[in-house]
Structure 1
Amino acid sequence: MKQVDFYLISNRVNLAKFKLASRLANKLQRLNQRALIITDSPQESSQLDQLLWSFSDASFVAHDPISEPAPLSTVHYGVHNDVTPNVLERDYDVLINVGSTVPLFNHHFARIAEIVDSDDQSKAAARGRYKRYKSEGFELKTHDIEL
């Protein structure tokens, strides 16, 4: 069964959703799993790109934009509107969504990580995504995260 994990960030931290996405991508990379991280805008993708290189003093996540994937890179990122059928052919293990909507291509993934910031607007949008995933038959789990 396809699964969606909602990671609910409980505290207010600058760029929290990107920091958590970086941590998840790092873990997936260590497990040799391929991840696609999607954002709402080019500006968010740029912020994410910077954090993937620098979120930890001890490690970084080797990554590429979906428009320029390197053959050995296991983590790609980009704006959800830029995901094309050829991107989905890359056999990702996990979709990490830091965006505010359910991606139209969600059924291409066995596992989705939804990252939810602590502000009220993000929580409200996440409730809508939760209902949609539930109506589409995904198994849903929630995790409270403090950064």
Structure 2
Amino acid sequence: MKRSDFYVLPTEDPDARRRFLCKVLEKVVALGHRIYIRTNDETQARQLDEWLWDYRPEAFLPHSLLAAGLNSPIEIGYGDSKPDHREVFVNLALEIDELALEFNRTIEIVVQQPEILEATRANYRRYQGQGYEIHMNDMRRKG
């Protein structure tokens, strides 16, 4: 069964989203899976590419822009770009497209920004409608 994981962070800080993404990437790569990260556009893809190189001096996240054709374990793309695998799809764009629904596992990292909350609620309904097993990981403190 296909699976979709939602990680709900307690902050609206977009940097928290990227920091958490790096933790997820480290774990998924260590398990031997390939990852495709979908961004909104080329600018966001290039920013993420640079950010991953500078993540932590002691960490190495083997990645590249999909357009470079390097076939890295972590590939970053946008628009109509499609990787040659369908293992793990990380959505950093707002909306998902049909490509996301071809993957065995999808990951959404949610921060408390209205546009991201609204988009991920719609994505949740779409994954659910496609029969994905949904896992909610609420990282907010419970009172």
Which TM-score bucket, shorter chain as reference? 0.7 to 0.9
Unaligned runs of 5+ in 2: none
Correspondence for 2:93: 99
CA distance in 2, matches of 1:39, 1:129: 15
**2:76 equivalent to 1:82:** no
Change (3 A) 1:103 1:19: farther
Please give the secondary structure, in 2, of the residue aligned with 1:67.
helix
**2:125 equivalent to 1:109:** no
CA RMSD in angstroms comes to: 1.7
Change (3 A) 1:21 1:103: farther
CA distance in 2, matches of 1:123, 1:74: 28
TM normalised by structure 2 equals: 0.87
Work out whether residues 7 and 136 of structure 2, in 8 Å CA contact, stay in contact via their aligned partners in 1: yes
One-letter amino acid of the counterpart of residue 95, structure 2 = T
Correspondence for 1:6: 6
Correspondence for 2:48: 48
Identity across the alignment (%): 26
Runs of 4+ in structure 1 deviating by more than 4 angstroms, as ranges, are: none
Q: Give matches, 1:58-69, under 5 Å.
A: 58-69=58-69
Shift of residue 144, structure 1, vs aligned partner: 2.1
CA deviations on 1:80-107 (whole Å, 9 max, x unpaired) are: x1324xx2xx224211111100121123
CA deviations on 1:39-83 (whole Å, 9 max, x unpaired) are: 011121122112211122320211111111324x2110011x132
Q: Give matches, 1:132-147, under 5 Å.
A: 132-145=126-139
Size of the alignment, in residue pairs? 140
Change (3 A) 1:75 1:140: same
Unaligned runs of 5+ in 1: none
